[in-house]
Structure 1
Amino acid sequence: MSLRHRRISEHNADETGIDLAPMLDFVLNLLIFFIITAVFLKEIGITVSRPNASSSVEKKESSSIVIAIDAAGDILVDRKLTDERSVRAAIERLHAQRPEDAVVVVAHEDAPTGILVSVIDQARQGGVMAVSIAASQNAM
């Protein structure tokens, strides 16, 4: 009986080891999957470059149509209070008088982003393609 007992214990010792090959295959497949899918991910958004000095905005303001947006969301087009829906008409009128001018949107840092995007869209619809964005702590 002792010989039979030894054969059974040797047989059990061979079966108790863990086979790592399937796990390694699975991990390798996951790694390949994530590497391939990471290549296809793209960030959506626009790149905005802000001026570093206040003098860069001042140079542009002398030959630009300035739109200011304060923290409350009020819009000033060339220092005249304007409704959000009439920005396009004001830009078309000013662009007809000064066709070489660009538009600079000076927004307060707490200004609503939706209004800023709407003003930029309306300026482009008004015929001005050169629209710049500037941030200010006091837009008025």
Structure 2
Amino acid sequence: QPLLSAELPETGERFEGILPPAAPGPVFALRKRAIGVIPLERYVIDGMMTSAQAGFLVRAVRERQNVLIAGATSSGKTTLANALLAEIAATGDRVLVLEDTVELQCAARDHVPLRTRAGVVSMTELV
């Protein structure tokens, strides 16, 4: 088996490894979990979005609109999702988070984290 996906115990870093013949040579990547949530206000302060864009996202959350986050690997999708989860947590609503890999951070009081397990429970079953 030339592919390996794992999560390191205790600290939660993700490890992805690939060996020949799936790759020309051995390749691996380590992904560290975020140590904190960057709020939408920080995006505005740092010039990554305008206050109008941040306001649009906050209104979308408050009005229970769907928001699609898409982008390349390591482009900040999870970081933005965590910022939006912080806005959702502020509503006081119950939040169910379904993941195949633990990445999202939710501070909601009524937070239910659910995770898929290969051969045990699928995303379809969690939904």
Band the TM-score falls in, shorter-chain normalisation:
under 0.3
The higher relative CO (CA closer than 8 Å, separation ≥ 6) is in: 1
* Higher relative helix content: 1
Q: TM-score, normalised by structure 2?
A: 0.27
Larger Rg: 1
